[in-house]
Structure 1
Amino acid sequence: MLSQQIMNHTMHFITDRFDELKNNIRSLNTILTHTQPLAALAYPLPCTSKGMESEPVKYIAAEEHTGHKAVELAASCYQDLYIQPGYSQKSARRTVGVIWLSPAQNPTSITIPELVDKINAAKTDIENHIIQTYETRQDRFEALRAECPGIMTMHLYRHIRCYSEQNIQSIRFAWQRKDSLSKPVKKDLLLKIEEEFDRSGPEYRVPLEQLINRIKQTPGELLRIRRQVRVQPAANIRFDAGIKTVTAPMPIIIIQSNELKLKALTDFDAKSQRKIRSDKAVSEVIGSFGGVTIEVFSAR
């Protein structure tokens, strides 16, 4: 009886908030498509095909659109909430860009920040409700799909960025390449590699044995596992107080009269060299296993 009450409450809550979300997105897009921007850029990135999520990204072409076409692409991105046949459900479809509006030239633009706040609040409310009501990932998946058939979760939850009268000086788009670095449990890491060693043929045993011996000789607190994270577009936003870097999977809305400088997104080429930070800790790669590299950091 209690579980049925929870389900009924969840259905009512999600349906109401989702309807509000869609209505506010439609209102936002109506305003945008009937407004002349001071500048607009949009770069719809190639979509990831289903089953290709783990393939390394070597090159991404940044196809630039400006003016009214850029606004149309932004509106399409904001309302892209559902799974599309043939495309990955694990990798977001992304349109990088910016829509710059003048409140003086476009009076209706002053209503946009409130609309965006309502859209983002509805997204957060749905996500929090699902997480707080259901314990397992599968239960959350089924509850959300029951009320929002065909919904793509990562698209539903991602927020629209909107800045109003904050005197932004410039927005420069770039590609962000990060690594995920974690500290392994030494005995667990050794166990996994030793199990693989026992299953492997003679040609693979020598490097695995060398890796096992090196890990055994290394203090656990110095071991690290580095995993490559998929490249993503980012925006470096310069305010009076400094620069803020944010991810940019959807076009950013800027509402201000002050001058704004924009730097275009360039093509991504994995062959281009990454700048090495001067404060980066010194480490040595001692091997690779299961798609990650294993490193030893220098003791301080």
Structure 2
Amino acid sequence: MTVISEHFDAMHRDIRALNNILKRMRPMAALAYPLPNTPKGMESEPVKTIPVREHTGEEAVSLAAACYQDLHINPSYSQKVARRTVGAIWLSPLRDASALEIPDLVERINAAKTAIEEYVIGTFSTRQERFEALRAECPGIMTMHLYRHIRCFTHEKVLSVRFTWQRKDSLSKPVKNDLVRRISEELERSGPDYRLPLEQLLSRLDRVPESSLRVRRQVRVQPVANIRVGDGLKTVTAPMPLLFIQEQPIKHKALAEFRAEDQRKTRSDKVAAEILGTFGGVTIEAFPA
């Protein structure tokens, strides 16, 4: 048995054991919000709304179990966008001692996921080699689902869990000459109707020093959970239901529908940047020197 197969089989056994425990327990509270899946070929379409529907009780637990074992490619949906079920399962060890088995199971599941990822990255140097190695040992596996961890909270006294949406932009410093070259190459290929915007963008770039240039790429909106522990607050991504093993009651705030038009107010201390234009799906900006 290979390293990948060994860890994958162990992970599969522990996920089945985890789901068997979950399905026979009576949770103190259980919420789940399965999000709409992204059809294949629609990955680049802007996300304007994400509807949500709340499931509770045994139905929520079943959705959580299904999410944990959702590891393979579905031909109807994108391989580039994760399928997500937001949620929280609160279990009491006093009500059912089986809850105490869950943290060790989750730790082993996550350790196996990490071991596979580290082995693949450390052994194979290119993306294609890594893809082939995983495909040979785990046919049909969806890599981002294989590597993502289950979150289990057991040593902290969690007071509340509030679900919300996180929108972030990726901001990076481009190499000006490379950026100008790519825009110039596109200009040469473009017809007369598309030349003017590119010419104007090149003209603006010419007057901006490289140190002031930034490229902003919109990152896909993701669900997060704001978790209150005592006086502290931690924010974690929540693509899969969170598990809480404790006696203390937990307050929950439901996940609301995402609407892109509900923009947050711009911070008063945010540095203003000049938008030079867009190219290749990114926004090119100039910040004050």
| TM-score normalised by L of structure 1 | 0.94
Aligned position for 1:255: 245
Q: SS in structure 2 opposite 1:280?
A: coil
Which whole-Å CA distance do the structure 2 matches of 1:46 and 1:234 have between them?
Answer: 16
Cα distance per residue 1:71-99 (max 9 Å; x no partner): 00000000001111211111111000000
- For residues 113 and 280 of structure 1, the distance between their equivalents in structure 2, rounded to whole angstroms, comes to 42
Q: Identify the residue that residue 118 of structure 1 maps to in structure 2.
A: 108
1:174 pairs with 164, 175, 194, which one? 164
Query: Counterpart amino acid of 1:232?
Result: Q
Contact 1:165 1:257 in 2 (8 A): no
Cα separation, 1, equivalents of 2:198 and 2:75: 41
Query: What is the distance in 2 between the residues matched to 1:165 and 1:65?
Result: 27
What amino acid maps onto 1:67 in structure 2? Answer: G
SS of equivalent to 1:298:
coil
1:139 to 129, 132, 136: 129
Partner of 2:145: 155
In structure 1, give the amino acid aligned to 2:148.
R
1:264 aligns with 2:254: yes
Give runs of aligned pairs for residues 1-300 of structure 1, distance below 5 A: 12-299=2-289
On the 8 A contact 1:285/1:295 being kept in 2, the answer is yes
For residue 144 of structure 1, give the secondary structure of its aligned residue in structure 2: helix
- CA offset digits 1:134-158 (Å, max 9, x no partner): 1111111111111111111111100
Deviations 1:218-240 (A, max 9, x none): 11111001111111111111112
Structure 2 distance, partners of 1:81, 1:199, is 42
Output the CA distance in 2 between the equivalents of 1:169 and 1:278. Answer: 31
Q: Structure 2: which amino acid aligns with 1:121?
A: A
Matched AA of 1:55: E
Q: Which amino acid aligns with 1:128?
A: E
Distance in 2 (CA, whole Å) between partners of 1:167 and 1:72 is: 25
Post-superposition offset of 1:279: 3.4
Cα distance in structure 1, aligned partners of 2:187 and 2:138: 46
Q: Deviations over 1:83-123 (max 9, x none)?
A: 11211111111000000011221211011101000000000
Structure 2 Cα separation of the partners of residues 271 and 76 of structure 1 = 32
CA distance in 2, matches of 1:14, 1:294: 42
* Distance change in 2, residues 1:80/1:56 (3 Å): same
Distance 1:279 1:259, change over 3 A: farther
Deviation, structure 1 residue 199: 1.9
Give 1:37 deviation, angstroms: 0.7
| Residues 23-46 of structure 1: per-residue CA shift (max 9 Å, x gap) | 000110111111111110000011
**Alpha-carbon distance in structure 2 between the residues aligned to 1:99 and 1:265:** 14
Q: Which amino acid is the alignment partner of residue 265 of structure 2?
A: K
The amino acid across from 2:46 in the alignment is: P
State how far apart, in whole Å, the 2-side matches of 1:291 and 1:236 are: 31
Identity %: 63
Give the SS at the match of 1:89.
Answer: coil
Give the residue type in structure 2 aligned to 1:102: S
Alignment size in residue pairs: 289
Match of 1:3 in 2: none
Task: Give me the CA root mean square deviation.
Answer: 1.1
Which residue does 1:4 correspond to in 2?
Answer: none
Measure the CA separation in 2 of the matches of 1:46 and 1:262: 22
Q: What letter matches 1:285 in structure 2?
A: I
Secondary structure, counterpart of 1:81 in structure 2 = coil
Query: What amino acid is aligned across from residue 135 of structure 2 in structure 1?
Result: R
1:205 deviates by 2.2
